[in-house]
């Protein structure tokens, strides 16, 4: 019996080291996967914030069209070319709104910009009794 124990003396340590190695590989894989998910979520949130800035720019352009006839006329004159009708900044992102005449109304393209990132929102605007409103959003 003594001979059997002498031959198996380091086997528990070997199995323990193998188990630790497997756990290290699994934990490194889980860390990598979670890091990828976190960075993907951050990019999505940043893009979503820029899209919201672009939509807010379109809403501000509609409000400006209702308050200022010169802006409304500028938007109405935009034919096949995009006409820039409003620029501004919301928080740390900037926006620019372009108008383009559509067969049934005016299409406003809002572009949200921050550093190299851009996001877009398109609102179709209708005139009703001299007031402009967003009929629907195009995706």
Cα distances (Å, whole numbers) of residue 86 to 14, 29, 35, 73, 110:
70, 48, 39, 13, 9
Q: Please count the structural domains in the chain.
A: 1
Note down pLDDT in tens along the chain; length 139 residues: 455 555 566 788 889 999 999 999 999 999 999 999 999 998 888 889 999 999 999 999 999 999 988 888 888 888 767 788 999 999 899 999 999 988 888 999 999 999 888 999 999 999 888 899 999 998 7
Domain span at residue 76?
2-138
pTM of the model: 0.73
Helix axes 11-67, 69-77, angle to 10 degrees: 110
pLDDT in tens, 49-59: 999 999 999 99
CB 120 within 8 A of CB 104: no
Q: Can you list the positions of beta strands (E) in 19-130? A: 83-90, 93-102, 105-114, 117-128
């Amino acid at each position: 019996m003594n001979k059997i124990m002498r031959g198996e003396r380091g086997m528990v340590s070997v199995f323990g080291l193998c188990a630790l190695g497997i756990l290290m590989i699994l934990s490194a894989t889980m860390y990598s996967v979670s890091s990828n998910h976190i960075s993907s979520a951050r990019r999505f949130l940043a893009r979503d914030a820029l899209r919201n800035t672009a939509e807010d720019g379109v809403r501000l352009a509609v409000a400006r069209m209702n308050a200022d006839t010169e802006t409304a006329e500028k938007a109405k004159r935009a034919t096949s070319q995009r006409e820039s009708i409003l620029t501004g900044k919301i928080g740390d992102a900037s926006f620019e709104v372009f108008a383009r005449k559509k067969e049934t109304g005016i299409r406003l393209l809002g572009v949200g910009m921050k550093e190299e990132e851009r996001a877009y929102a398109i609102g179709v605007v209708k005139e009703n009794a001299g007031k402009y409103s967003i009929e629907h959003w195009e995706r």
